[in-house]
Amino acid sequence: MKITVLCGGITPERDVSLRSGAMIANALISRGHNVALVDSFAGVSEDAAESLFASSGYPVPPIKKTEPDLSAVWAMYRSPGDKAELGPGVIDVCRSCDVVYIGLHGGGGEGGRIQAALECFGIRYTGSGYLSSGIAMDKDMTKRVIRAAGIDTADWKRYENITSPSAAAADIAAEIGVPCVIKPLGCGSTCGITVVHERSQLEGAVTHAVKYESAFLAEKFIRGRELTVAVLENEDGEAKALPAVEILPKTGGYDYVNKYQAGYTTEICPAPIPDGIAARAAATAEAVHRAVGLRGISRTDIIWDDKADRLVVLEVNTAPGMTDTSLVPQEAAAAGISYPELCERIALLGAKK
């Protein structure tokens, strides 16, 4: 097949996406496909669409310890006042292939806007549709949907366009309490997230979150073991969970550095949990996948509160990371699916839409 891998974009997860995209492209090339690797924000020369499809590998960029300077990226690729999320020539490249592999994380690339644009041109792509992608990217909407479906999730409250971090902190202390988690509404890769253990930390956590987005959640902190469970659909579209991963950061929480720097976190797959809990976690991830209306691939993050015998869903990812430290490839490997085979299966699912 001819496959366009879209990566990069203009979100705090840009560097993660660039690495994911290059690894996905190389994996697909190793399976015999012709692949164009395209930074959706930078774009390409409008007359170069056909020449971009390669049958040899792409260089894989590193992920720095700090998130990218997005203002510098804007200045590099856009003139003042230009707010276009897609770069020049991107749609042309996408129209010239059999399927687009969504290797974008966060923002419009994971949140439905780019999926909607592709659908307007009748272009097939991997993963979930624009509506379910938008729901999953909005942490408040996700929690509303899954709670209505009877799936356990931590109590929360949404805040937007606050005028006073101090007043918001006081309201959170009264409504949610401490400890709690403050997280931007639509960011991934733990960008902008703070786990608040003391009342004195709340105002700073709110200030940190709104640097990323004007809307954020205050969520009750659930103490327990951190699990994540991917769901990969089969050829018949049936959602099947992969083995769970347990996440154990060596120091601190599972933040941006601990996620993407090799050796900073211990990830155990299959997770060393009782068979009954593993089965319940799998069923929970499959239920989330169905409730939100997801397609192809997803990954649900869960806390197992063993003292209360609860499996509490935190959020779901529709375009999970595919780097060498990412979780979905580890789960696939535990199920006997190699990285190249995993990428190809996702691409083939998208091509069938």
Q: Pick 156-220's CATH classification: 3.40.50.10320, 3.90.330.10, 1.10.287.3510, 3.30.1490.20.
A: 3.30.1490.20
- Distance, in Å, from the CA atom of 128 to the CA atom of 298, rounded to the nearest integer, reads 9
Q: Specify the pLDDT at position 123.
A: 98
pLDDT of res. 318? 95
- What's the pTM? 0.92
CA 299 to chain CA centroid, nearest Å: 8
Range 2-125 classified under CATH 3.40.50.12780: no
CATH of domain 137-152+224-339+344-348: 3.30.470.20
pLDDT, averaged in runs of 10, over the chain (353 residues) = 96 93 97 96 78 88 90 94 93 96 91 96 97 96 98 97 96 97 82 92 96 94 96 93 91 44 76 98 98 97 96 96 92 97 97 88
Q: What is the pLDDT of residue 191?
A: 81
Read off the tokens for 128.
């979930």
Give the model's pLDDT for residue 46.
Answer: 66
Two domains, one topology: 2-125 and 156-220: no
- Residue 186: the pLDDT is 82
82-to-42, 79, 93, 224 alpha-carbon distances in Å: 13, 6, 21, 45
